[in-house]
Amino acid sequence: MTDRPWRAVISGIGELKPERKTDGINTMDLLLRVSAEAARDAGLAPGEIDGLLVGPQVGETPQHVPATVAEYFGMRPTMSNVVDLGGASGPGMIWRAAAAIEMGMCEAVLCVLGNHRNPVPPRAPNRNPAREFDTPFGASGANTSYALLMQAHMARYGCAPEDYAAIAAGARANAQLNPMAIFHGKPADIGDILASPMVTSPLHLLEIVMPVAGGEAVIVTTPEKARKSPHRLVHLRGAGEKITHRAVSQAPSLTSGPLKPSIARALHQAGARIEDMDFLSLYDCYTIMVAATIEDAGLCTPGRFGQWLRENGGMGPEARQPINTHGGQLGFGQPDLAGGMTHVVEAVRQLRGAAEGRQIADCQTALVTGNGATMSEAVALVLGGSE
């Protein structure tokens, strides 16, 4: 694999306020609303957007998803696709958009994810090995998978429950700085986290993201077209991706994941070191995910994330290397697949200097991570503000 500089930039973002429940709306309405916001933010007319990346629309549109969305939006894209990498879908869209622009397939790509929370979601119609060989034993859902990862991590390194809970408490503290967050006005400390009900040991309820409705959109375009954006431009400096397995039983390691090579590759492309990152926008479906990512990023040796976090001064905007200033998904809420894109959107805000009430001083470069399935689908991005 060769590394060459990325030319495309991020010139627009859109975000919907998370909601616990919705009634009778369809995904397309949410997607269009948040996309229009991102296009306005980029200063682009709908006709100027010629690329479209969307997520899978389980239950609503099983096939022909890009065509269905493009038609609804009145778009005629020259590049479109479904990016189906779970929580890594958002960051995975960014480099794919940049690559398509690099090859001249299109000039401005809308990357959009969103979901409703209408009542009575249908049970999964899955017929695959995870369904056949995990579910019959009483192990369905991500909570079980991440509990197994966390138990293995605790057993191997002897980390304390308080170490993991500090991540949820840090996310909640950051959510107090973001009025959009679902847990704004609802702080929780380490004691509160560990006092919450056990769901799948060793995971407590408050170490698990809250599902919400929402939407996130990002516009990736050429430097020329990005001149229409009134904001500081955000460049893609490096990207890395790795997929290793689907079911947790098939994981090559239970304590280190595919983000490790993905982050290394993204940093290498950017010519940067992890210590250089002014902001860490780390995918946080569970506390264990952030713990494993801190270690896989090489910020500390395996098993030492708790101590590192204390030495880092927590996760807030004043920390040595601030983490998830929007509250992370643990504090902001997880709008399904759009949850992974919240980490891109917050990094863009920080690099623009537009993270009102939680701005990091002199933020020039950020690491964004995305993660899907059972710590098995990984994307890492290094983003940098324009000179």
Residue ranges that bind another protein, judged by CB under 8 A? 127, 129, 131-141, 143-144, 147-149, 151-152, 155-156, 197-203, 247-250, 254
CB of 259 to another protein, least distance (A): 19
Name the one residue in this structure whose structure tokens are 């702080």: 187
Q: Which helix (H) or strand (E) holds 203?
A: strand 203-204
Give the whole-angstrom CA distance, residue 101 versus residue 51.
Answer: 9
Q: Which is nearer to another protein, 68 or 143 (CB)?
A: 143
**Is the backbone of residue 61 left (phi > 0), alpha (psi -120 to 50) or beta?**
beta
CB of 84 to another protein, least distance (A): 21
Q: Which is nearer to another protein, 133 or 313 (CB)?
A: 133
Q: Which is nearer to another protein, 70 or 199 (CB)?
A: 199
Q: Which is nearer to another protein, 254 or 367 (CB)?
A: 254
Tokens describing residue 282 = 């780390």
Give the whole-angstrom CA distance, residue 66 versus residue 96.
Answer: 15
32: how many CB neighbours lie within 10 A of its CB? 18
Name the one residue in this structure whose structure tokens are 């809250």: 210
Q: Which is nearer to another protein, 174 or 374 (CB)?
A: 374
Tokens describing residue 24 = 């009778």
Q: Which is nearer to another protein, 200 or 293 (CB)?
A: 200
CB of 162 to another protein, least distance (A): 19
CB of 138 to another protein, least distance (A): 5
Q: Which is nearer to another protein, 26 or 253 (CB)?
A: 253
Residues with Cβ within 8 Å of residue 262, at least 6 apart in sequence: 240, 241, 242, 369, 378, 379, 380
Q: Of how many residues is the chain composed?
A: 387
CB of 150 to another protein, least distance (A): 8
- What's the angle, vertex CA 90, arms to CA 249 and CA 267, rounded to 5? 85
CB of 381 to another protein, least distance (A): 30
- Count CA within 13 A, CB hemisphere, residue 17: 6
Amino acid at 255: T
DSSP string of 175-202, one letter each residue: HTT-TTSTTTT----HHHHHHSPEEETT
Q: Which is nearer to another protein, 24 or 197 (CB)?
A: 197
* Cβ pair 315, 174 in contact under 8 A: yes
- What's the angle, vertex CA 303, arms to CA 302 and CA 308, rounded to 5? 90
Give the whole-angstrom CA distance, residue 130 versus residue 119.
Answer: 26
CB of 120 to another protein, least distance (A): 13
* Cβ pair 102, 2 in contact under 8 A: no
CB of 330 to another protein, least distance (A): 18
Amino acid at 274: I
CB of 148 to another protein, least distance (A): 4
CB of 193 to another protein, least distance (A): 16
Q: Which is nearer to another protein, 4 or 123 (CB)?
A: 123
Short-list 312, 15, 325, CA closest to 172? 325
Give the whole-angstrom CA distance, residue 329 versus residue 323.
Answer: 12
Q: Which is nearer to another protein, 86 or 316 (CB)?
A: 86
